[in-house]
Structure 1
Amino acid sequence: MLTAGLLGLGTKVFPAGSPVPAPAANQAPAKSGPLAKAEVLHWWTSSSESAAVKTIAEAYRKAGGTWVDTAIAGADQARAVAINRIVGGNAPVAAQFNTTKQFQDLVEQNMLNNMDDVAAAEGWDKLLPETVLNVIRIKGHYYAVPINLHMQTWFWYSKAAFKKAGIVKEPSTIDEMFAALDKLKAAGLVGLAHGGQAWQETIVFQAMLANVGGKDLSLKVIRDRDAKAINSDAFKNVLLAFKRMQSYIDAGSPGRNWNDATAMLISGKAGFQIMGDWVKGEFAAAKQTPGKDFGCIAGFNSTAPYLIQGDAFVFPKTTVEPVVRAQKLLAKTLMTPSVQVDFNKLKGSIPIRSDVDTSSMDLCAQSGMAIMKDKSRVLGISEVYLTPDQNGALQDILT
């Protein structure tokens, strides 16, 4: 049973590997001199993601660096390649991870360079959300450079599909959302565009937990694995809502990529998609506009948790000065205000820095940034509180 499986997550431990050495001391700022070519390993391969990462590459080149692009489709696959190469002694200059515990084991094995001097010079402690700092700052050292903030559990809807189904009002409650899904299904449309992949199932589950269960229950279930909460009637209602969502998914769902599900909204074949704000990049690539062609709902009440995560780059351990200089130049470039805005407008996310001018960003981004000001609503996704092994176990339970 799902409840029993969640209780068992507390016993999952990420493999410790070899004995853990002491954390690396703060590296001194790299002296000026030649730069190594920077091979950057990432998983941004969709049309919108490719356009977004090019803004970073171009800014890095303008700053004097040489960007060598290594794009690997699929986040899990890209991380596996990065870890294998780091462990095998053939590391890229930088590798993409999510702003979660995904890279914690690499830190514990002393396989990453820290960016302490860059963090100090840029004042990260004042610029970045506490939830993010708690992930990238380990034992006082900064081991990842975040580039953005994503919220995973947005409810996206197609205006064209709504019109076909006779839905005239954006749903403002969970009950209204289910009523809209029923109308979409009755009109012969797909209610929920969804990809039957483990990580996408987790997103739908977290959306139900956040919007049906609320903040306190979310923390008790995911962070604390509290037995009383997991066996409560409130959590049973979450599970019923999650199960009900499955009835609005089409037969072609298994294995479908997230961007292919988004295409179903773009074409008007489906009504809703529950997915992170990176889908905006796909809408933008299709020349669709928020508020006109599609809508975005962050939550169904004013206290619904805003579940954040993001993308970050880590820098494999090296003492080779040209490589260290390339790493630190990239770290600085990633945090440049203009890069933050240009990248995130194309990626669909919002800037990680709190001091950049975001007036040119779309209405969904503006809504998200307004919610971010209410710190009581900001929570991490499951991977912020669970080790990779625990999160994998959660996905296994849900699928």
Structure 2
Amino acid sequence: MNDASRRTRAIAAAVLAAACAGTRAAPPVPSATAPLKATVSHWWTSGGESAAIRQFADAFNAAGGQWIDQAVAGAEQSRASTINRIVGGNAPVAAQFNTSRQFRDIVDQGLLNNVDEVAARGNWDRILPQTIIDVIRINGHYYAAPVDIHMPAWFFYSKKAFAQAKIKDEPRTWEEFIAALDKLKAAGLIPLAFGGQVWQEKIVFDAVFAQLGGPELFLKIYRDRDVKAVASPAFRNVLVAFRQLRAYTDPGAPGRNWNDATALVVSNRAGVQIMGDWAKGEFSAAGQVAGRDFGCFPGFGPKAPYIVAGDAFVFPKTAKPNVVRAQKLLATVMTAPGPQAAFSARKGSIPIRPDVDLSQLDMCARMGIAIMQDKSRQLPNAEMLVEPDLNGALQDVLTNYWNRKQTPEQAQAAFAQAMKDNTW
């Protein structure tokens, strides 16, 4: 169990104890005509992210609410802040988590309100992809409002950099991709814009895993915890290919933020970045247009797996009528067609629902929406399949392999051991 997971569980237990011990005096209830105030905690602080979250804020305010923005830089820091605020009796009205198993513990501790009423009104059972429903509906209740679908394994490239390196076509195979990186390197460019942070290393690894290992091996390992599959030659090949990419990064990669890596592609100093489609928000903020200034492809070949991930907002437990009303209004607004389209156009994601105006969305988003219609290509993100403890342990294994002189066999053994140690 990693330190972040230990903290989350300890804090959740403390919250439950505090709830049993008593409650604080409720503040005065505002008048019926006053706007419904909602403190909203999230980690969207980059240029593109800030422009996106404003779409929800504006829509909430227009619907009779008062959005009080509380951004905390860094996803893990933001989630820890939410838990700490629950402990301190000052919980936000809504808080961001990834569409994953990250909030399962606080659901189990009884610390969240459900939004079943909003889900029923919005026909979530019918319109949401099953991969999303499987994460946010727990024991028959909806405990989160999904706000986007992200695919964390897109390949973004600079059109100018490709032209400078005399690369005419998008790579259609892994071999063609490596050949393109070699050409970018020969042209004096940074071939692969990379952020050497643990979570970014895991994103790139999973992109390689999905493309080269295929969905069957991906699910055998992450969903089924098949230790024999970890020891297989196929998984070894994935590890070898993953570390092959290290030779195409630059000396400034360690510790680099994801949006700073994106900026290298935006400025044409780097050729390619493997990153979630939220990176498009940075291209948009810089005035760049998909298909004109930068290109995108979700993998190699017409049947490449499409990893499904995303973000959702949870609603800390409360019985205060106006807070509950604010929570329901937030969940309604965030999942409505208009705000969904406006948000995704700036965030780089695709909407959670199919009945939105696609005119605001770029070619990459439209490509993603078309792919999502083919359920056979949908592949759940690893964080939808494994508990946070195991995900953190596997991240540690991969960052050690990426940054140290380990053999693929050593990484396989460490990966298998992490699975054994963190499987409940």
* TM-score, scaled relative to structure 2: 0.86
Output the CA distance in 1 between the equivalents of 2:192 and 2:137: 38
Q: Paired residue for 2:413?
A: none
Q: Paired residue for 2:43?
A: 43
Is the CA contact 2:79–2:96 (under 8 Å) kept in the aligned structure 1? yes
Output the CA distance in 2 between the equivalents of 1:383 and 1:252: 28
Letter in 2 for 1:255: G
Q: Paired residue for 2:131?
A: 131
Output the CA distance in 1 between the equivalents of 2:210 and 2:386: 17
Q: Paired residue for 1:286?
A: 286
Output the CA distance in 1 between the equivalents of 2:88 and 2:14: 17
Higher relative contact order (CA 8 A, sep 6+): 1
Q: Paired residue for 1:241?
A: 241
Q: Paired residue for 1:362?
A: 362
Q: Paired residue for 1:213?
A: 213
**Percent sequence identity over aligned pairs:** 59
Alignment gaps of 5+ in structure 1: 1-7, 22-31
SS in 2 for 1:342: helix
Output the CA distance in 2 between the equivalents of 1:18 and 1:193: 41
Output the CA distance in 2 between the equivalents of 1:233 and 1:184: 30
Residue 224 to residue 112, structure 1, CA distance change in 2 (3 Å): same
Cα distance, 1:19 vs structure 2: 11
- Range moving further from structure 2, 187-196 or 225-234: 225-234
Cα distance, 1:15 vs structure 2: 4.5
Q: Paired residue for 1:397?
A: 397
- Residue 64 of structure 2 corresponds to residue 56 of structure 1: no
Q: Paired residue for 1:307?
A: 307
Q: Paired residue for 2:107?
A: 107
Q: Paired residue for 2:147?
A: 147
Letter in 2 for 1:244: Q
Cα distance, 1:357 vs structure 2: 2.6
Q: Trace 1:243-282 onto structure 2 (pairs within 5 A).
A: 243-282=243-282
Post-superposition Cα deviations, 1:65-115, rounded to whole Å, max 9, x if no partner, equal 011000111111111101111133210111011110111111001000000
SS in 2 for 1:300: coil
Structure 1 outlier segments of 4+, above 3 Å: 12-21, 32-36
Q: Paired residue for 1:341?
A: 341
Is the CA contact 1:96–1:313 (under 8 Å) kept in the aligned structure 2? yes
Cα distance, 1:63 vs structure 2: 0.3
Post-superposition Cα deviations, 1:328-376, rounded to whole Å, max 9, x if no partner, equal 1111111111000001000000000122232431110011111101101
Q: Paired residue for 2:89?
A: 89
Is the CA contact 1:198–1:395 (under 8 Å) kept in the aligned structure 2? yes
Is the CA contact 2:342–2:360 (under 8 Å) kept in the aligned structure 1? no
Letter in 2 for 1:157: Y
Q: Paired residue for 1:382?
A: 382
Output the CA distance in 2 between the equivalents of 1:76 and 1:192: 26
Output the CA distance in 2 between the equivalents of 1:231 and 1:184: 34
Is the CA contact 1:101–1:135 (under 8 Å) kept in the aligned structure 2? yes
Cα distance, 1:306 vs structure 2: 0.7
Output the CA distance in 1 between the equivalents of 2:319 and 2:360: 41
Is the CA contact 2:195–2:254 (under 8 Å) kept in the aligned structure 1? yes
Letter in 2 for 1:49: E
Letter in 2 for 1:266: V
* TM-score, scaled relative to structure 1: 0.92
Alignment gaps of 5+ in structure 2: 17-30, 400-424
SS in 1 for 2:73: coil
Post-superposition Cα deviations, 1:31-65, rounded to whole Å, max 9, x if no partner, equal x9455411000111111111111111111010000
Is the CA contact 1:307–1:381 (under 8 Å) kept in the aligned structure 2? yes
Q: Paired residue for 2:158?
A: 158
Post-superposition Cα deviations, 1:168-189, rounded to whole Å, max 9, x if no partner, equal 1111111100000011111111
Cα distance, 1:302 vs structure 2: 2.5
Output the CA distance in 2 between the equivalents of 1:351 and 1:127: 11
Cα distance, 1:199 vs structure 2: 0.5
Letter in 2 for 1:319: A
Cα distance, 1:223 vs structure 2: 1.6
Is the CA contact 1:41–1:71 (under 8 Å) kept in the aligned structure 2? yes
Output the CA distance in 1 between the equivalents of 2:56 and 2:377: 30
Output the CA distance in 2 between the equivalents of 1:184 and 1:226: 38
Is the CA contact 1:35–1:326 (under 8 Å) kept in the aligned structure 2? no
Q: How many residue pairs are counted as aligned between the two chains?
A: 380
Q: Paired residue for 2:316?
A: 316
Is the CA contact 1:35–1:325 (under 8 Å) kept in the aligned structure 2? no
SS in 2 for 1:37: strand
Output the CA distance in 2 between the equivalents of 1:390 and 1:94: 26
Cα distance, 1:222 vs structure 2: 1.5
- Residue 111 of structure 2 corresponds to residue 117 of structure 1: no
Cα distance, 1:225 vs structure 2: 2.0
Is the CA contact 1:35–1:322 (under 8 Å) kept in the aligned structure 2? no
Output the CA distance in 2 between the equivalents of 1:103 and 1:230: 27
Post-superposition Cα deviations, 1:161-218, rounded to whole Å, max 9, x if no partner, equal 1111111111111110000001111111111101000010001100110111111011
Is the CA contact 1:215–1:304 (under 8 Å) kept in the aligned structure 2? no
Q: Paired residue for 2:26?
A: none
Q: Paired residue for 1:5?
A: none
Q: Paired residue for 1:170?
A: 170
Q: Paired residue for 1:194?
A: 194
Is the CA contact 2:158–2:272 (under 8 Å) kept in the aligned structure 1? yes
